[in-house]
Structure 1
Amino acid sequence: MVIFSKISFSFILFNIIIFAIISNCLIDVNSYQRNKRSIVLINHKFVSPIPYYIGPFTKNYTSIHEALYRIQNNTCIRFKPAIFYVYGTGGFNFLRTHTLCESSSGPKLGDEKHINYVYISENCEHSIGKIEQLVGKMLGLVPEIYRDDRNKYVQINYSNLDKRTRLFYKKASYKKNDTMTFGYDFLSGTHFYAKNYSVNGKVVIEPKKPYEYYKYSMGQPYGLSFSDIKLLNKKYCFDIYRKNHCKNNGYRNPNNPKKCLCPSGFAGSKCEKQIKSSSACGTTFRRAWSCVKQINVKGIAKCSYFIKSLKNKRVKIIIDKSETEPNEHCYKNMGVEIKYRDNKGVSGVCLCGSYSNLTFISENNFAVVVYHGFNETNRINIRYQSVTKSAAKIK
């Protein structure tokens, strides 16, 4: 009977301790959210190699290590494991919680006794992409929805938003943040989904024209986007980043500076070329004139079409039909990607599934269409032509 009492007491005490740890984690995240507007004003960066500690009760070390490797592989940032908790701005810690997957946008500043946590749970501990996104935030990436210029790109439907979470949609000042020099990326690893914190299951974030088709591909769980990684390179690897000879919004490979890392659809040592296309794609470099031309491809193939008009013109693309593998979270290399914005480094509109009668007009004289067909029923039928700048504004 005495033994049972001792065991019961130990078990209860153990659970109280764990509950206290988890409760403190949740309080800490909420505290961060309340103060985030001041935190993101400071352009802090860790000193590489960055110490990290993986806390107890973590079940999947492999996903964490793979996520860190992804970042190391595309940046100059290096990580080193610590044998105990890391404090202050000296590094960060992975802590397993019950349901929470979250991270602050950089460490808490002015308190070197504070422990900076990347919180993981069963909801994300097996997802390399989600963990990579959380680490990206800890390194200083700020969600796109906080950008001061976000109203140019999206509309927030506050009537559909849970009032208790309005704080999560407040814009922040970016006087000391690099994000504003980059194009708004709807598929950033930090971007909210369309229905994040919805009170009624309806859309909260709605892309504005001419970005309305990003409603089909906004937010993703696969990792940091090309633009995210590029921003980390600007932040942490500036000496290499600033001497940029790359084309089409690529950036110098910090691990091999003679070569460039390229956005989707582009290849070559300077990102000046198309990715290698299948023979089924036909001619992949196209000139757009006022007369309408077509692109028709069907079946298993990988194609990157460069469509260019004269410099003072724009490219109009009409998707008559697109049939690719359906995916709730469409992303690059999955179906069809349309890059019609001036900045080819940000994600294009990604289409997975069945679509028809979609019209895009390029922001400059150059558009890119990337097709990935994975079975014989996949296809895309496109019309394209050159239009004037004034005609483009009418869209």
Structure 2
Amino acid sequence: MTVNIREEEFFQNPYPYYAEIRRAGEPLWLPHEQDSTSQGVWLFAHYADALAIFKNNLTISKHIRTVRPSTIQHPFDLHLLHRDGADHLRLRRMIAEFFSLKAIAQLEPIIQQQTDYLIDALIDNFADQQSFDFITEFCDPLPVFVIAHMFGVPQNDMQKVRRWSLILGDSFDSLLVKHTNLDERRTALNEFISYVQYLIQTKRDQPDDSMLSYLLEREGQQLISSEELIGMSLFILFAGHETTINLLGSGASLLLSHPEQWALLQAQPELLPSAIEEMLRFESPEQRTSFRITSEDTEISGFTIPAGQQIGVFIGSANRDPAVFERAEEFDIRRQHNPHLAFGIGIHHCLGKTLSRAEAKIAFATLLKRCPGLVLAESSFTWRKNSFLRSLEKLSVSFA
């Protein structure tokens, strides 16, 4: 296959490339330079392929240490998404109650309060301005605040966490990795680990009702190891804000660049749940799956992947597969049949999906009510150069 996803245009608009890969009828081989023994990754683009991979727990593994050289293993290898079987379930169940419907319902007033605070600031600071960056002023700070509140991180420290997360998010991308990038990644990861170790010690000395203090209790009961505790902390702080920021940014850009949809949502706010699902489908916050490797020879749609090969799914492609979605390239907040895979399926589906949906629902409901005149100040967007995460560098808007 000759599809070149290393081109700059791919990062700005990957969807024509996805369509070409789907038409080719075989996975795309992407060589990479990563901290693993695998030389590259096989990437699948069809919805049916995604289902097969997500549901296969027998011959497809997520245990990253099976291919990580022993000299460069670190605690980030040991969070729940890099584990299989009983270890994955143990870690997942340990924090599941914090992401339950009941827990998120109790959190919603805090999310609403912070949303109102941020919108108050937008109106006070930018009502008379020609434009402002909606990503910086709203999309970034809301999920960052929420995960800091849940996990027990001082709000002033979250800008450091955000910076480390951006570096790590870029360095995981096989399209971007170079030796200098790996060096930057190792530095950021070491700094992040050191900070988490400091935070853990702080909570040991002064426990509270945060998720981290809860995990420390489980460590004391020998239900989680010290290294797993660090790995889970890193993962929760990273994953707990990144994709929701992307959802808020791309969702706002979609509504404002489709004024008829924005007007429809204002006229029928009861469409907001389906609008959020369409945002998740049309501009999936996570475009590509995290680490997976075949533990045995594995056949996917007639293509055999030998044992020991890394594989992945283009989620952004699966969510626009015309075999599943009518008018797949149209953004329609009234879409009824929408079995998108933005949060995955199977045992590794996104644990934070209820939280992400709640943040988006509160954010957009409040914007509809308080900022109905919000409009784009620039018609073109620049997307961050990353094939894993679909996020805007900037979104210039103004109050009409």
TM-score, reference length from structure 1? 0.25
Q: Which one has the bigger helix percentage?
A: 2
Structure ranking higher on relative contact order (CA contacts 8 Å, 6+ apart): 2
Return the structure number with greater strand share.
Answer: 1
